[in-house]
Structure 1
Amino acid sequence: MKKAITYWRDEAKEALQVSEHLFEKRDYSYALFFGHLAVEKILKALYVAKKNEQAPPIHNLVRLAEAAEIALEEPRKDALIKITTFNLEARYPDETRSFRKKCTEDFTRAELENITEVFQWLSRLIP
């Protein structure tokens, strides 16, 4: 399972790096989408490390954290809920593209900072 942990950790780091590149290119909604991918993949690394089995193919970050038996205080749970919305709203925009309009530079910068903080917290939990 060590290979799987390394795989998910490397994929997570790459997704976080892509989110930063997309932010620099001013592609804000997809920067947040890749931020979600980074958190999802680091959660999958943690899942494999804790459960010694392949991670489930789910994208809901709270469900993934609960499956990995991670204790979630309310602020952490709220952060994961919000980050999960970036996956859904970027992949399935409504006809008014309201999410893309909401993704200003300031909004995206603040959310990427939150994503990075959550990412670092989860990374520290991997044994």
Structure 2
Amino acid sequence: MKEKIKNRVGYWVESAYYDLKTAESMLKEKRYLYVGFCCHLTAEKLIKACFWKIKNEEPPFTHNINIILDKLELLDKVPLQHQNLIDELIPLNIKSRYPDDKERIYKLLNYNKCRSLIKRTKEFTQWTKKLINQ
């Protein structure tokens, strides 16, 4: 792997794991909205690392994980459990920033739901790790 690509992949992976640890910290503090937000960041950054590895170029400037997966031609290859997670996480990134949606989303999140999001995000990291290491 070229040095630039290796550095970019490393940046996104390291940043993603930082966000995953932050999600775990937010769970302990019962900051459930931020658990979802950080899980989304983790997944997004890992897919951007995959983009660098597979395409050798800058990923699209979007927070929509499905758009990035589509550009990677992986959207239809994502295992169902991971696609379900992505579909849950996407609104937690964008809609959680706006007052009307924020209240609605906050009511959906609790300790068990967030613990599940973290567990499933960790499983997603294993899938992306395989893509990066191919």
In structure 2, give the amino acid aligned to 1:23. L
Q: 1:9 to 1:96 in 2, by over 3 A?
A: closer
Mean Cα displacement is larger for which, 61-70 or 93-102?
A: 93-102
TM-score normalised per structure 1: 0.90
Structure 1 spans left out of the alignment, 5+ residues:
none
1:85 is aligned to 2:91: yes
Q: RMSD of aligned C-alpha atoms?
A: 1.7
Q: CA deviation at 1:79?
A: 2.3
> Aligned partners of 2:15 and 2:103: how far apart in 1?
28
2:21 alignment partner in structure 1 = 17
Q: CA deviation at 1:13?
A: 0.8
Equivalences for 1:13-92 in 2 at 5 Å? 13-70=17-74, 71-92=77-98
Structure 2 spans left out of the alignment, 5+ residues:
none
Identity of aligned residues (%): 27
Q: CA deviation at 1:63?
A: 1.2
> Aligned partners of 1:96 and 1:124: how far apart in 2?
34
Count how many residue pairs are aligned between Structure 1 and Structure 2.
127
In structure 1, give the amino acid aligned to 2:121. I
In structure 2, give the amino acid aligned to 1:47. F
> Aligned partners of 2:101 and 2:88: how far apart in 1?
21
